[in-house]
């Protein structure tokens, strides 16, 4: 306590700024590796560190010696393993993008939504069924494993071809993470909600089902009517208009709105009804 009591206001301010800068750097680095294989590698490193701590605590000499040998070459190993992420971070830092604000993010989201709108308009006019799921905070790895891995850059041309009838992957969901199509032909859990309209088919029930167990947002194109629907938080908006779809996708897929989404529990159409009285 004496250390804190002896601090002057200048030292307090310097320490606060120091901690804030380090916290911000760590936060940006976490955003950099989120959604990449580096996340799994970090988990592996954490397991090794925990094993080393346990061996030290209980004086397990053989295990401790083995961990020490691994850590001796650990720095070089980490540099090799995280080489793609480190290179990307340095490139962004050189371009001034690592700590930049959201102009680049907003542009990327706008481009991504533009590709989605092109896709649903094309499929809707031709009444080609489709189900596109956007991963957000909750991971969808278990559903990714049920489909065919792709990890391809998202484009309207690729999405359209995936849903063309009689193609190998048309009868399933496409899962999108960021600007990548992670997998196609994926199987999703069907909603068991008894109040869902009987008019809705398997695609709509799958879209609602995945939104019930995760925070994913889904866009559905009906094969029977060509109508576009949006599923979120266990609810579905049928025949959503293009303007509303663009607005909602931009709101929900923007990383800056994560905190706002957590605070807002009601679906957006309920909140709109409340606002209108």
The CATH code of the domain that includes 227 is 3.40.1700.10
124 and 244 inside one domain: yes
Task: Answer whether residue 262 is part of any domain.
Answer: no
Task: Answer whether residue 268 is part of any domain.
Answer: no
32 and 166 inside one domain: no
| Nearest partner of 203 among 182, 180, 166, 230, judged by Cα | 230
Which of the two residues, 122 and 179, has the higher pLDDT score? Answer: 122
113 and 45 inside one domain: no
Residue 234's contacts (CB-CB under 8 Å, 6 or more residues apart) are: 191, 193, 208, 211, 212
Task: Answer whether residue 264 is part of any domain.
Answer: no
Task: Answer whether residue 48 is part of any domain.
Answer: yes
Task: Answer whether residue 269 is part of any domain.
Answer: no
Task: Answer whether residue 109 is part of any domain.
Answer: yes
| C-alpha–C-alpha distance, residues 153 and 143, integer Å | 19
124 and 246 inside one domain: yes
Residues 207-229 pLDDT 10s: 999 999 998 999 999 999 999 99
Domain that holds residue 181: 103-253
Residue count of the chain = 277
pLDDT at 100 over 60: no
Task: Answer whether residue 260 is part of any domain.
Answer: no
Residues 153-176 pLDDT 10s: 999 999 999 999 988 888 899 999
Q: How many domains does the chain have?
A: 2
| C-alpha–C-alpha distance, residues 266 and 254, integer Å | 18
C-alpha distance from residue 73 to each of 46, 60, 61, 76, 202 (Å): 16, 21, 19, 6, 52
Give the per-residue pLDDT at 25. 80
18 and 143 inside one domain: no
Helices (H), the chain: 2-5, 9-33, 38-57, 61-72, 74-81, 83-95, 103-125, 141-144, 156-163, 202-213, 242-253, 258-263, 268-276
133 and 233 inside one domain: yes
Task: Answer whether residue 276 is part of any domain.
Answer: no
End of a domain among 49, 65, 95? 95
Give the per-residue pLDDT at 275. 44
54 and 107 inside one domain: no
Placement of tokens 């576009």 in the chain: 228
- Tell me which range, 18-27, 47-56, 181-190, is most confidently predicted by mean pLDDT: 181-190
User: Within 13 Å, how many C-alpha atoms sit on residue 116's CB side?
Assistant: 34
48 and 25 inside one domain: yes
109 and 240 inside one domain: yes
Mean pLDDT across the chain = 81
Identify the bridge partners of residue 180 per DSSP, sorted by sequence position.
153, 177
């Amino acid at each position: 306590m004496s250390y804190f009591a002896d601090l002057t206001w200048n030292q307090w301010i310097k320490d606060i700024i120091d901690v804030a800068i380090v916290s911000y750097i760590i936060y940006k680095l976490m955003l950099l590796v989120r959604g990449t294989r580096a996340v799994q590698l970090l988990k592996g490193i954490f397991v090794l560190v925990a094993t080393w701590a346990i061996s030290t605590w209980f004086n397990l000499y053989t295990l401790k010696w083995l961990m020490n040998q691994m850590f001796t070459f650990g720095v070089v190993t980490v540099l090799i393993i995280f080489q793609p992420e480190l290179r990307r971070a340095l490139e962004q830092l050189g371009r001034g993008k690592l700590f930049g604000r959201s102009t680049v993010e907003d542009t990327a989201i706008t481009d991504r939504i533009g590709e989605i709108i092109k896709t649903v308009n094309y499929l809707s006019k031709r009444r080609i069924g489709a189900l596109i799921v956007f991963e957000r905070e909750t991971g969808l790895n278990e559903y990714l494993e049920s489909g065919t891995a792709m990890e391809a850059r998202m484009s309207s041309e690729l999405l359209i071809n995936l849903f063309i009838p009689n193609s190998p992957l048309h009868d399933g969901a496409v899962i999108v993470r960021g600007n990548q199509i992670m997998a196609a032909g994926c199987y999703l859990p069907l909603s068991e909600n008894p109040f869902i309209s009987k008019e809705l088919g398997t695609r709509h029930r799958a879209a609602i089902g995945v939104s019930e167990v995760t925070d994913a947002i889904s866009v559905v194109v009906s094969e029977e009517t060509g109508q576009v629907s949006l599923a979120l938080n266990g609810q579905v908006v049928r025949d959503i208009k293009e303007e509303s779809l663009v607005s909602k996708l931009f709101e929900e897929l923007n990383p800056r709105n994560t905190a706002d989404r957590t605070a807002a529990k009601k679906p957006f159409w309920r909140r709109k009804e409340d606002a209108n009285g």
